[in-house]
Amino acid sequence: MEFAFLLNHINVLLLLVMLCVPCGFIQCPTDFGVSNILQATPSASVDFGRMYFNLPAAVLRPKSPREISFLLKSVRSSSPFSNRVTVAARGAGHSINGQAQALDGIVIEMDSLPDHIEIHSNSEEYGCSYADVSGGTLWIDLLRESLKVGLAPRSWTDYLYLTIGGTLSNGGISGQTFKHGPQVANVLQLDVVTGQGELLTCSKAQNSELFYAVLGGLGQFGIITRARIVLEEAPHKVKWVRVFYDEFEKFTRDQELLVTAMEGMVDYVEGLTFLNQHSLLSSFAAFPSDPDLLPGLHGESNTSIYYCIEFAVHCHHKKASNVQKATMEEEVVRRLNHIRSLVQRAEVSYFDFLNRVGMEEEKLRSKGAWDVPHPWLNLFVPSFSITTFKDLLLQNISPTTFEGPLLIYPIRPDKWDANMSVVLPRAHAGKRNDSLIYVVGVLRSAPPECVPETPCLNRIEQQNRRIVETATRWLSAKQYLPAYSRRRQWEEHFGESGWLRFQARKAQFDPLNVLAPGQRIFSRWEADSKKNNR
């Protein structure tokens, strides 16, 4: 191991020297100086999960996509000297399992690209408004900028301090996904630097294989340097409602109703599960209402479980339509089969609604509870097995000590594009609503002392593994933000034809397996040995 580590450092060093010394076969542009290649900093080896800490050999802070292209071309053309060098784009580093890290490789910090946001209203070409935005830009910055002209993206994640390139490499899902599809389904065009260093523009009509590969492609095929994101008119406020349940079946039935028959009446739907009083109370960090107004949820034993559907109705400036929205929201509440005495309503600005997890972050940071290990688990579970999955979950986690949000909400696979690289479970199209898929987010915070290799973190990781194994094997579930380390697991994750397609795309766009080594799907050693065997 030590040998490999040393050798790899020498490889990176050689590459860096070649990048900066003018020589025969590698062009050394004057605008690509040593100052842009920094020594490895700890931030490039840490992520939100705080479970993996892989130190790169160097960090690149590019000022333009051209510099990224140059680096990747150099890795390719200097292959005999740099045959172990890997490169990972790092967005906001909000991965859980080291996906944006590159042990002994080069990390490209995408936030150093100029934060370029260009808004185009009512484009005739697309029949909608759109924003051109750099791959390293945070979604919250795109929101701020587009709201200035009354526009906003329509598909979101719950948390906005994530980068455009980071979420588009995964999917990007939230309570709007049932209606507008994931973020990857709301992209018109991309600029991508492939693993070979080619800077290409792609869309459904141009270089389409690259376009589809990169969306949900786990950073395997190229680095997104610009994305063209669909915008819509932003609502000026949001009616935000929470209704509560003490029966799982009623909770899921109502959610399914909301995203199918009542789709036109709501703009956002998510479901939360409260396993204990603490998780209930902490869910009020952003919701502008007092939890004491929910007397029915107090004084119960610690283990009583409550479910909550959160839905939102957007209000636009036109008065008439807002009156309709107010009655619409009441009508939705009336039609749902929730605990009648427990309804909470709030009216907030669109920005505050979308930034709700940002507000929770502030509270958690003030308590020192943000920078802790996060052994998170995210799954897509078909609706036909969601009740069995809930039982499996409760068998494997302790409701009394669980800390963090537990999300369960449905999305509609018909709003996804199967050409993209994201993997969804196959849904049964037989019975009513059997074509829906649930997003399950088991977003657990571990105590700060639960660092890697301690029994307490090992225990949580073991529980997660058991849940994943059973849910994927028996309940047709798939991991979202997948984390596997063995080839066989990846093959099962993608399924036979999906895996063949993923491999073929890798061979086309990153044949040397340079990109995103932290995903642990392909390794450079493997690419080298294939080449030597030819």
Distance CA 267, CA 175 (A): 8
Distance CA 36, CA 490 (A): 35
Instruction: Identify the residue among 516, 522, 524, 527 touching ligand FAD (CB under 6 A).
Output: 516
Nearer to ligand FAD, 89 or 332 (CB): 89
Distance CA 102, CA 94 (A): 15
Per CB under 6 A, 93 contacts ligand FAD: yes
Per CB under 6 A, 65 contacts ligand FAD: no
Per CB under 6 A, 88 contacts ligand FAD: yes
Element (H, E) at 460: helix 455-474
Instruction: Identify the residue among 105, 171, 271, 410 touching ligand FAD (CB under 6 A).
Output: 171
Per CB under 6 A, 51 contacts ligand FAD: no
**Neighbouring-strand partners of residue 237:** 315, 349
Other C-beta atoms closer than 10 Å to the C-beta of 118 total 12
Instruction: Identify the residue among 78, 155, 170, 383 touching ligand FAD (CB under 6 A).
Output: 170
Per CB under 6 A, 48 contacts ligand FAD: yes
Answer yes or no: 329 catalytic.
no
3-state secondary structure of 378: strand
Structure tokens, 392: 């499996």
* Angle at alpha carbon of residue 169, lines to 110 and 474, rounded to 5°: 145
With beta carbons less than 8 A apart as the criterion, state whether 72 and 514 touch.
yes
Answer yes or no: 94 catalytic.
yes
Q: Residue holding tokens 């808004």?
A: 119
Please identify which of the residues 47, 145, 270, 510 carries the catalytic annotation. Answer: 270
Per CB under 6 A, 134 contacts ligand FAD: no
Distance CA 297, CA 302 (A): 10
Q: Which stretch binds ligand FAD (CB under 6 A): 159-167, 276-284, 384-392, 467-475?
A: 159-167
Query: Among residue numbers 342 through 361, which ones bind ligand FAD (CB under 6 A)?
Result: 357
Per CB under 6 A, 509 contacts ligand FAD: no
With beta carbons less than 8 A apart as the criterion, state whether 100 and 108 touch.
no
Q: Which stretch binds ligand FAD (CB under 6 A): 93-101, 276-284, 306-314, 420-428?
A: 93-101
Residues contacting 386, CB < 8 A, separation 6+: 252, 408, 438
Q: SS3 sequence, 320-364?
A: HHHHHHHHHHHHHHHHCCCCCCCEEEEEEEHHHHHCHHHHHHHHH
Per CB under 6 A, 223 contacts ligand FAD: yes
Site string for ligand FAD, 480-499 (x = CB under 6 A): -x------------------
* Angle at alpha carbon of residue 203, lines to 198 and 205, rounded to 5°: 115
Per CB under 6 A, 424 contacts ligand FAD: no
Answer yes or no: 2 catalytic.
no
Please identify which of the residues 94, 314, 338, 374 carries the catalytic annotation. Answer: 94
Nearer to ligand FAD, 60 or 297 (CB): 60
Site string for ligand FAD, 379-418 (x = CB under 6 A): ----------------------------------------
Per CB under 6 A, 195 contacts ligand FAD: no
Per CB under 6 A, 95 contacts ligand FAD: yes
Instruction: Identify the residue among 98, 153, 172, 373 touching ligand FAD (CB under 6 A).
Output: 172
Please identify which of the residues 104, 145, 158, 191 carries the catalytic annotation. Answer: 158
Distance CA 56, CA 321 (A): 54
- The conformational region for residue 174 under phi > 0 = left, psi -120 to 50 = alpha, else beta, is beta
Tell me how far apart the terminal alpha carbons of the chain are, to the nearest angstrom. Answer: 27
Which residues are at the interface with ligand FAD (CB under 6 A)? 47-48, 88-95, 99-100, 110, 135, 157-159, 162-163, 165-167, 169-174, 218-219, 223-224, 357, 481, 516, 518-519
- Known catalytic residues? 94, 158, 270
